């Protein structure tokens, strides 16, 4: 069985977020998919079932569980499909409970993913465990179906944050994102991000209960982060940087009908043969 490992949301190897991708004609046994994801020990392993050359189903597994939405592994899967499995320039992922994801590949290799917005609401009653787990001051807390989204005072606080992962783990499936305004570009971000673009926001993302202490680059959470900054900055097109040790860039655009476009690049790291 062929497997691909792709670095997503980057033009460089060893940056962005690595995801494994397996394309099949039929779903594998669920326990087998989970064991493969555990063996890979990446943030996500994506399994893609081909319907035809333009239509696919997709599922995502962390080392410990199946998740309902993963942006970077969708980008990685799209890269593999465009490279190896389809001559189409636009493909459609049929996703349980989330409808259709539309992905278009552009001439320069950038891929644009059309997702539903997962809008976050302002929280007035912040859980004590979240306050205790985070060490830096914050201005506001939002919540969507995926995570708490915590707005920090500065980009530097985002970079310096060292959360208590054991406390965050007690929050279970509700994950934690931290984010800050980056329109006054910080020197530290300029040195971290090799593409030297002007960023609108910076974030980090933690999911220890899912076996991912810090996710390198997270497409899914930006369907909640970007609407917050789009409103605050009065912009519909924003560029985001996720400031993990690997780092990655997401090009985002608010669309009509509660949809959002999240775009990025990817690089193939490895092709492998799984022996089952």
* Residue range 156-167, pLDDT digits in tens: 999 999 999 999
Q: Is the model's pLDDT at 193 over the cut of 70?
A: no
Q: Give the contacts of 37 (CB within 8 A, at least 6 positions apart).
A: 20, 44, 45, 61, 62, 63
* Residue range 74-90, pLDDT digits in tens: 999 999 999 999 999 99
Tokens of 172: 């279970």
Catalytic (active-site) positions: 44
Residue 32: CB atoms within 10 A of its CB come to: 12
* Residue range 91-123, pLDDT digits in tens: 999 999 999 999 999 999 999 999 999 999 999
SS3 label, residue 14: coil
Predicted confidence at residue 173, as pLDDT, reads: 87
* Residue that has been written with the tokens 């996703």 in this structure: 95
* Residue range 210-241, pLDDT digits in tens: 999 999 999 999 999 999 999 999 999 999 99
Residue 214: CB atoms within 10 A of its CB come to: 17
In percent, the amount of the chain with pLDDT more than 70 equals: 96
Please answer whether residues 249 and 196 qualify as being in contact, where contact means their C-beta atoms are separated by less than 8 angstroms.
no
Alpha-carbon span 177 to 147, nearest angstrom: 7
Predicted confidence at residue 198, as pLDDT, reads: 83
SS3 label, residue 9: coil
* Residue range 205-217, pLDDT digits in tens: 999 999 999 999 9
Predicted confidence at residue 104, as pLDDT, reads: 98
Predicted confidence at residue 190, as pLDDT, reads: 54
Angular region, 14: left φ>0, alpha ψ -120 to 50, beta rest: left
Angular region, 36: left φ>0, alpha ψ -120 to 50, beta rest: alpha
In percent, the amount of the chain with pLDDT more than 90 equals: 93
Cα angle value 140/141/146 (rounded, 5°): 155
> Smallest Cα–Cα separation from 44: which of 74, 1, 78?
74
In the 8-state DSSP scheme, what is residue 212? B
- The model carries a pTM of 0.95
Predicted confidence at residue 161, as pLDDT, reads: 98
Q: What is the mean pLDDT of residues 123-149?
A: 97
Helices and strands counted in the chain (H then E): 7, 17
Average pLDDT of every residue of the chain: 95
Q: Is the model's pLDDT at 195 over the cut of 80?
A: no
């Amino acid at each position: 069985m062929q497997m691909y490992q792709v670095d997503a949301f980057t033009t460089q190897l060893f940056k962005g977020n690595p995801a494994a991708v397996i394309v099949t004609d039929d779903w594998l046994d669920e326990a087998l998919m989970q064991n493969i994801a555990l063996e890979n020990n990446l943030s996500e392993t994506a399994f893609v079932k081909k319907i035809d050359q333009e239509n696919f189903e997709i599922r995502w597994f962390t080392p410990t569980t199946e998740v309902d939405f993963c942006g970077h592994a969708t980008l990685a899967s799209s890269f593999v499909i465009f490279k190896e499995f389809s001559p189409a320039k636009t493909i459609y992922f049929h996703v349980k409970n989330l409808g259709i994801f539309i992905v278009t590949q552009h001439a320069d290799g950038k891929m644009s993913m059309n997702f539903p917005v997962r809008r976050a609401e302002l929280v007035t009653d912040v859980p004590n465990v979240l306050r205790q787990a985070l060490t830096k001051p914050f201005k506001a807390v939002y919540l969507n179906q995926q995570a708490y989204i915590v707005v920090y005072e500065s980009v530097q606080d985002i970079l310096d944050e060292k959360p208590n992962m054991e406390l965050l783990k007690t929050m279970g499936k509700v994950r934690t994102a931290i984010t800050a305004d980056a329109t006054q570009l910080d020197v530290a971000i300029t040195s971290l991000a090799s593409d030297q673009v002007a960023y609108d926001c910076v974030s980090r993302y933690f999911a220890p209960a899912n076996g991912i202490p810090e996710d390198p680059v997270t497409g899914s959470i930006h369907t909640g982060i970007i609407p917050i900054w789009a409103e605050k900055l009065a912009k519909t097109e924003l560029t985001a940087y996720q400031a993990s040790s690997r780092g990655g860039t997401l090009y985002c655009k608010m669309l009509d009908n509660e949809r959002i476009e999240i775009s990025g690049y990817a690089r193939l790291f490895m092709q492998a043969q799984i022996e089952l």
